[in-house]
Amino acid sequence: MKKIISLIGIMSLSLAICGSISGNVNFDGKGPKKKKLKMDADPVCGTSHQGPVYRQDFVMDDNNNLANVLVYIKNIDYKGETTKSQAVLDQKGCVYTPHVMGVMKGQEILIKNSDATLHNIHGLPKVNTEFNFAMPKVLKEKKMTLVKTESAFKVKCDVHPWMSAYVQVFDHPYFTVTSNDGSFKIDNVPAGTYEVVAWQEKFKDKTVSHTVTVGDGNTNQNFTFVKPSKKK
Protein backbone atom coordinates (compact mmCIF):
# COMPACT_ATOMS: atom_id res chain seq x y z
CA MET A 1 0.00 0.00 0.00
CA LYS A 2 2.83 2.39 0.89
CA LYS A 3 4.49 1.62 -2.42
CA ILE A 4 1.27 2.50 -4.27
CA ILE A 5 0.91 5.78 -2.40
CA SER A 6 4.56 6.58 -3.06
CA LEU A 7 4.13 5.81 -6.76
CA ILE A 8 1.06 8.04 -6.97
CA GLY A 9 3.02 10.82 -5.28
CA ILE A 10 5.88 10.51 -7.77
CA MET A 11 3.44 10.53 -10.69
CA SER A 12 1.68 13.61 -9.33
CA LEU A 13 5.00 15.37 -8.88
CA SER A 14 6.06 14.58 -12.46
CA LEU A 15 2.77 15.92 -13.79
CA ALA A 16 3.34 19.15 -11.89
CA ILE A 17 6.81 19.75 -13.29
CA CYS A 18 6.96 22.80 -15.52
CA GLY A 19 9.77 24.47 -17.39
CA SER A 20 10.33 27.18 -19.95
CA ILE A 21 11.41 27.46 -23.56
CA SER A 22 13.63 30.33 -24.60
CA GLY A 23 15.79 31.19 -27.53
CA ASN A 24 16.37 33.50 -30.43
CA VAL A 25 14.93 33.90 -33.93
CA ASN A 26 17.16 35.12 -36.76
CA PHE A 27 17.39 35.36 -40.52
CA ASP A 28 20.00 33.64 -42.66
CA GLY A 29 20.76 36.03 -45.50
CA LYS A 30 20.50 39.65 -46.48
CA GLY A 31 17.22 41.19 -45.44
CA PRO A 32 15.07 43.48 -47.59
CA LYS A 33 15.70 47.20 -47.54
CA LYS A 34 13.74 49.06 -44.90
CA LYS A 35 10.78 50.97 -46.31
CA LYS A 36 9.49 54.21 -44.84
CA LEU A 37 5.81 54.66 -44.17
CA LYS A 38 4.22 57.62 -45.93
CA MET A 39 1.86 59.24 -43.44
CA ASP A 40 1.42 62.66 -45.03
CA ALA A 41 -2.21 62.00 -45.93
CA ASP A 42 -3.22 62.66 -42.31
CA PRO A 43 -1.51 65.64 -40.62
CA VAL A 44 -1.99 64.06 -37.19
CA CYS A 45 -0.09 60.96 -38.31
CA GLY A 46 2.63 62.95 -40.04
CA THR A 47 3.41 65.00 -36.94
CA SER A 48 3.22 62.11 -34.44
CA HIS A 49 6.84 61.07 -34.97
CA GLN A 50 10.06 63.06 -34.83
CA GLY A 51 11.87 60.77 -37.25
CA PRO A 52 10.99 58.34 -40.05
CA VAL A 53 8.74 55.35 -39.35
CA TYR A 54 9.37 52.08 -41.13
CA ARG A 55 7.24 49.11 -42.10
CA GLN A 56 7.01 46.42 -39.43
CA ASP A 57 6.58 43.34 -41.63
CA PHE A 58 10.30 42.48 -41.48
CA VAL A 59 12.17 43.97 -38.53
CA MET A 60 15.79 42.80 -38.29
CA ASP A 61 18.66 44.23 -36.27
CA ASP A 62 22.34 44.44 -37.25
CA ASN A 63 22.90 40.86 -36.05
CA ASN A 64 20.08 39.45 -38.21
CA ASN A 65 17.79 38.94 -35.20
CA LEU A 66 14.09 39.16 -36.04
CA ALA A 67 11.44 41.02 -34.04
CA ASN A 68 7.68 40.48 -34.40
CA VAL A 69 7.96 36.71 -34.77
CA LEU A 70 5.18 34.70 -33.14
CA VAL A 71 6.54 31.62 -31.32
CA TYR A 72 4.11 29.04 -29.98
CA ILE A 73 3.54 25.42 -29.02
CA LYS A 74 1.41 23.53 -31.51
CA ASN A 75 -1.29 21.02 -30.50
CA ILE A 76 -0.79 21.08 -26.74
CA ASP A 77 -3.58 19.74 -24.53
CA TYR A 78 -4.49 22.57 -22.16
CA LYS A 79 -7.15 22.09 -19.48
CA GLY A 80 -6.71 25.39 -17.68
CA GLU A 81 -8.76 28.56 -17.74
CA THR A 82 -8.57 31.45 -20.17
CA THR A 83 -6.31 34.18 -18.84
CA LYS A 84 -8.06 37.05 -17.07
CA SER A 85 -5.51 39.60 -18.29
CA GLN A 86 -6.38 41.90 -21.16
CA ALA A 87 -4.61 41.79 -24.48
CA VAL A 88 -4.07 45.35 -25.70
CA LEU A 89 -3.93 46.54 -29.30
CA ASP A 90 -3.18 50.25 -29.50
CA GLN A 91 -3.36 52.70 -32.37
CA LYS A 92 -0.58 55.11 -31.54
CA GLY A 93 1.22 57.37 -33.95
CA CYS A 94 -0.97 55.87 -36.68
CA VAL A 95 0.61 52.43 -36.34
CA TYR A 96 -0.68 49.34 -34.55
CA THR A 97 1.16 48.40 -31.37
CA PRO A 98 2.00 45.57 -31.10
CA HIS A 99 2.36 44.67 -34.76
CA VAL A 100 1.99 40.94 -34.03
CA MET A 101 0.12 39.48 -31.07
CA GLY A 102 -1.33 36.24 -29.77
CA VAL A 103 -4.49 35.94 -27.69
CA MET A 104 -6.44 33.11 -26.13
CA LYS A 105 -9.93 32.41 -27.36
CA GLY A 106 -12.37 34.19 -25.07
CA GLN A 107 -9.67 36.55 -23.76
CA GLU A 108 -10.72 40.16 -23.50
CA ILE A 109 -9.02 42.38 -26.06
CA LEU A 110 -8.79 46.09 -25.34
CA ILE A 111 -8.47 48.16 -28.49
CA LYS A 112 -7.22 51.68 -27.88
CA ASN A 113 -7.09 54.83 -29.96
CA SER A 114 -4.24 56.94 -28.59
CA ASP A 115 -4.36 59.33 -31.56
CA ALA A 116 -6.31 62.54 -32.04
CA THR A 117 -7.72 61.28 -35.31
CA LEU A 118 -10.24 58.80 -36.71
CA HIS A 119 -9.19 55.17 -37.02
CA ASN A 120 -11.03 52.13 -38.32
CA ILE A 121 -10.44 48.61 -37.00
CA HIS A 122 -11.02 46.08 -39.75
CA GLY A 123 -10.14 42.50 -38.85
CA LEU A 124 -10.09 39.87 -41.58
CA PRO A 125 -10.35 36.49 -39.84
CA LYS A 126 -11.52 33.44 -41.76
CA VAL A 127 -12.78 31.41 -38.78
CA ASN A 128 -13.98 34.08 -36.36
CA THR A 129 -16.50 36.72 -37.37
CA GLU A 130 -15.05 39.58 -39.40
CA PHE A 131 -15.11 42.86 -37.48
CA ASN A 132 -15.11 46.40 -38.81
CA PHE A 133 -15.81 49.47 -36.70
CA ALA A 134 -14.79 53.11 -36.53
CA MET A 135 -12.95 54.68 -33.62
CA PRO A 136 -13.19 58.49 -33.85
CA LYS A 137 -10.78 60.52 -31.77
CA VAL A 138 -13.37 60.79 -28.97
CA LEU A 139 -13.72 56.99 -28.69
CA LYS A 140 -10.56 55.95 -26.89
CA GLU A 141 -11.30 52.33 -25.97
CA LYS A 142 -13.34 49.39 -27.17
CA LYS A 143 -13.43 45.80 -25.91
CA MET A 144 -13.96 42.60 -27.86
CA THR A 145 -13.23 38.87 -27.79
CA LEU A 146 -12.46 36.20 -30.37
CA VAL A 147 -14.11 32.88 -29.57
CA LYS A 148 -12.46 30.40 -31.95
CA THR A 149 -8.87 29.34 -32.48
CA GLU A 150 -7.41 30.68 -35.69
CA SER A 151 -4.13 31.13 -37.51
CA ALA A 152 -2.68 34.61 -37.82
CA PHE A 153 -4.99 37.01 -39.64
CA LYS A 154 -4.61 40.60 -40.73
CA VAL A 155 -6.06 43.65 -39.03
CA LYS A 156 -6.04 46.86 -41.05
CA CYS A 157 -7.27 50.44 -40.90
CA ASP A 158 -9.48 51.49 -43.79
CA VAL A 159 -8.68 55.15 -43.07
CA HIS A 160 -4.89 54.76 -43.07
CA PRO A 161 -3.87 52.04 -45.57
CA TRP A 162 -0.31 51.68 -44.21
CA MET A 163 -1.61 50.45 -40.84
CA SER A 164 -1.65 46.69 -40.29
CA ALA A 165 -1.25 44.11 -37.55
CA TYR A 166 -1.59 40.34 -37.19
CA VAL A 167 -3.47 38.40 -34.52
CA GLN A 168 -3.49 34.65 -33.84
CA VAL A 169 -6.01 32.98 -31.52
CA PHE A 170 -4.96 30.03 -29.34
CA ASP A 171 -6.66 27.56 -27.02
CA HIS A 172 -3.70 27.67 -24.62
CA PRO A 173 -1.34 30.31 -23.14
CA TYR A 174 1.96 28.94 -24.49
CA PHE A 175 2.90 31.60 -27.02
CA THR A 176 4.91 34.80 -27.23
CA VAL A 177 6.36 37.33 -29.69
CA THR A 178 10.06 38.01 -30.15
CA SER A 179 11.57 41.23 -28.82
CA ASN A 180 13.65 43.67 -30.88
CA ASP A 181 16.73 41.51 -30.31
CA GLY A 182 14.95 38.38 -31.56
CA SER A 183 14.72 36.78 -28.13
CA PHE A 184 11.70 35.00 -26.70
CA LYS A 185 10.64 32.97 -23.67
CA ILE A 186 7.57 30.85 -22.96
CA ASP A 187 7.10 30.15 -19.24
CA ASN A 188 5.22 27.53 -17.19
CA VAL A 189 5.24 24.86 -19.89
CA PRO A 190 4.27 21.39 -18.59
CA ALA A 191 7.00 18.77 -18.93
CA GLY A 192 6.73 16.94 -22.23
CA THR A 193 7.79 16.89 -25.87
CA TYR A 194 6.21 19.42 -28.21
CA GLU A 195 6.34 20.92 -31.66
CA VAL A 196 7.30 24.58 -31.29
CA VAL A 197 6.57 26.85 -34.24
CA ALA A 198 7.89 30.25 -35.32
CA TRP A 199 5.70 32.38 -37.62
CA GLN A 200 6.94 35.46 -39.47
CA GLU A 201 4.71 37.75 -41.52
CA LYS A 202 6.78 37.73 -44.72
CA PHE A 203 6.99 33.93 -44.70
CA LYS A 204 3.28 33.44 -43.82
CA ASP A 205 2.56 29.67 -43.90
CA LYS A 206 6.24 28.80 -44.38
CA THR A 207 6.83 28.47 -40.67
CA VAL A 208 9.91 27.08 -38.94
CA SER A 209 9.35 24.36 -36.34
CA HIS A 210 11.40 22.20 -33.98
CA THR A 211 10.64 19.34 -31.63
CA VAL A 212 11.43 20.47 -28.09
CA THR A 213 11.49 18.42 -24.88
CA VAL A 214 10.69 20.41 -21.75
CA GLY A 215 11.66 19.35 -18.25
CA ASP A 216 12.33 21.12 -14.99
CA GLY A 217 14.21 24.30 -15.87
CA ASN A 218 14.81 26.09 -19.14
CA THR A 219 15.17 24.54 -22.58
CA ASN A 220 16.92 26.59 -25.26
CA GLN A 221 15.80 26.42 -28.87
CA ASN A 222 16.72 28.84 -31.65
CA PHE A 223 14.94 29.35 -34.97
CA THR A 224 16.33 30.45 -38.31
CA PHE A 225 14.37 31.69 -41.31
CA VAL A 226 16.10 31.23 -44.65
CA LYS A 227 15.43 33.31 -47.73
CA PRO A 228 13.76 31.09 -50.34
CA SER A 229 15.89 30.34 -53.36
CA LYS A 230 14.79 31.92 -56.62
CA LYS A 231 12.94 29.65 -59.00
CA LYS A 232 14.88 28.92 -62.18
- Taking only the tens place, the pLDDT of each residue in 106-156 is 999 999 999 999 999 999 999 999 999 999 999 999 999 999 999 999 999
Closest to 109 (Cα-Cα) out of 64, 141, 137: 141
Closest to 201 (Cα-Cα) out of 222, 220, 225: 225
pLDDT at residue 46 in the model: 87
Architecture field, domain 84-171? Sandwich (2.60)
Mean pLDDT of 74-87: 96
pLDDT at residue 87 in the model: 98
Domain with CATH 2.60.40.420 in the chain: 84-171
pLDDT at residue 3 in the model: 52
Q: 27, 203 in Cβ contact below 8 A?
A: no
What is the full DSSP assignment across 133-147?
EEE-TT--EEEE---
Domain with CATH 2.60.40.1120 in the chain: 18-76+177-227
Q: Which fold has domain 18-76+177-227?
A: Immunoglobulin-like (2.60.40)
Mean pLDDT of 19-48: 95
DSSP type of residue 15: H
